[in-house]
Structure 1
Amino acid sequence: MKYAVLIGDGMADYPIEKLGGKTILQAARTPAMDYIAAHGNTGLAKTIPDGLPAGSDVANMSILGYDPAVYYSGRAPLEAASMGVALAPDDVAFRCNLVTIEQGRIKDYSAGHISSEEAEILIETLDTELSNEELRFYPGISYRHLLVARNNLGAETECTPPHDITGKKIEEYLPEGKDGDFFSDMIKKSMIILELHPVNLKRIEEGKNPANSIWVWGQGYAPKFTPFQELYGKAGAVISAVDLLKGIGIYAGLDVIEVPGATGYLDTNYEGKANAAIEVLKTRDLVFVHVEAPDEAGHEGSIDKKLRAVEDFDSRIVAPILKHAKASEEPFTILVLPDHPTPISLKTHVPDPIPFAVYRTDKKDSDGAETFDEESVKKGSFGLVKASELVGILVKAK
């Protein structure tokens, strides 16, 4: 049996008045996901355990079969692993966003989805100006970067994700608690350094949002994972544009497959990801394919972009993998799901259970769901399950 787990980050949503009371999944054209739901088994999965933040780190850790209540230590350490940054036991890794601040408010949590090339120049400037024996900046992809603090600095600081406070005054959400003043001061120093940086002056000239500040959040220590193969007896791989998913894969002992042109946005290389997944399954048992675009559109509050992202995920990821599975002589199991809802109305994550559908090529089964969406799957035979148990259920199913 081969297994493909296809994750459309943030696809789930709430009913939207402009769509006639439909959710994005209900309004979007998604024939491949609808086929999987109609010819398979469906349900709802709780990806965010009670008491943990509704982030992609927690949610995707659950989907990959790791209970966040046991394994979660923070988002940034996972991204550090993907970036090749080794953490000492007393190192605290922070996600370091490049953001746009205007009139004291976060205007854009992604600085206009700044290019990795531009961002690297800015992060290197910050590293030159602000790093010391306790701090070091590392460039990542687009607006997503890393700050490592040594000697437990910031471990107990309270931080807020920037995508949760778009349009709000930053003074009300600067880091608080132990070492909060230190990191708040660092954010303010970054504004002075970045405001007149040539990269930003050029972006303003071109009508783009400048990356005129950093924002730190998602900190934690390096976690310890039990290898995926030891837990589930399967060799697997992860395909994603974002360091978070790659980092989970690295800690889990999964292979991380790099796909040229994978951006984490609407312009990502969908075909490259789908082809890579099909190739992976020639030599491994399982592949996780993650697409970030629906989540980004949700954070932007764009109905049109989210509809496009979901439809692209369906037609350019799910459809070709489904076609390959149906044509294969070897039986396939396909699991399709979002990691969490990112409602257009809120522009941030919520911990609500997410819809999922499972299709097996060797099993003719259906539980009454006709389409893949938040309402239809409530009829499903799985009911409500703990997401971290889903992989185990699938690989043990007869």
Structure 2
Amino acid sequence: MILPLWRDHERLAVQCYRMLRHHRALALGPATPLARLERRLLAHWLILARDPASVCPDDGGDLIHVTRCAARWLSTRPPAPEEVRDCLREHPGHPWGWLLEHLPPEHPQPWLEALTPCPTLAPWRWRMLAHLAVPAPEICPAHVPAAPDEALAALRWGADVPWAPADWFRHPDPTLPPEALGWQLRGGLVRGLLPPSRIQRHEASLAGSAQGLRLLGATGLPQVLPRLLDALPEHPAAAWGLALHGTRAATDILIGALADPRALPHALPAFEAVSGLTLPGIQGPRPLSVPSPQEQAMVWWRRVQRDGLGTIPLWQGRPRSHGTLLNWLEAHAGRDTDGPQLLLSLGLGRPLGIPPGAWQNRRHPALRQLRHDT
């Protein structure tokens, strides 16, 4: 059965998915265009789900393969858990994996049972759980999984999920790989189970990852500033760590980084988040009459200090609060939103349960609910 405009839906679904991959690869971007794109893509997929077997049957291209798999995934006869498991075991990059994570099944238990016997697929279980619409605390083990890869996936998932077991984060395990330990420390900090000083003890290992640098900055401890400074200009997350730190000293360092061409690409958006300014970009020539990004930042910073605001954390040029963070999070998408989301979690004293890479039609209502609750 070929519905009217079927080929147009095939073509547009491929285009939308290509654009979605581009948007989701950005460190930071506007949320509204992404939300519109996601809605269009899902609409095309749902139409094609009426007859998945008719989706470009003679085309073997990668993007068409994704489209064909998405149509079947959303159809009335989706693949069985065992089929997906066997396919991922043979081809870890198969589209089933992306769909399992980002469009998880409504009833996860059969999928967990199918994936459990395969240790190599254990991380997929936790990626799937991250995007569940309905909490399922009964499926969580009492202890962190022993296998390193699964421990990392479980702790990455659980750190920001309210219904993950609190005991996973109460006593950090120094034998864990550094990245897994970083997520365990994050989960303990946002739940109020660990003091910031406990995070600072592990600053050497945390400074090796983006998540760790953001976590160090979010502690606001003066002792972590040398680590963040050392990570500039090579590591983009160090600039965001300084923005999250929020102290006068951290802002001074961040403004100084605007003069370094190596640090400018990631220091610029971090400073704009703090200040609310829109500074000249790094592409193309700049007229001599236009002050440099650092010169404009210094003018702003002197005005802030003259107004008596230089000693308090700022966001978007105003005293940092739940409201200013929520305004910014609602307007932006991308992996760099993780840091402000972490600050909001710390302010509320609990994980938010909004996974990275969540669809905007889930993320925005969750943020609006947080605004209502606070």
Question: What is the TM-score of this pair, normalised by structure 1?
Answer: 0.23
Greater relative CO (CA pairs within 8 A, separation 6+)? 1
Name whichever structure is richer in strand by fraction. Answer: 1
Name whichever structure is richer in helix by fraction. Answer: 2
Larger Rg: 2
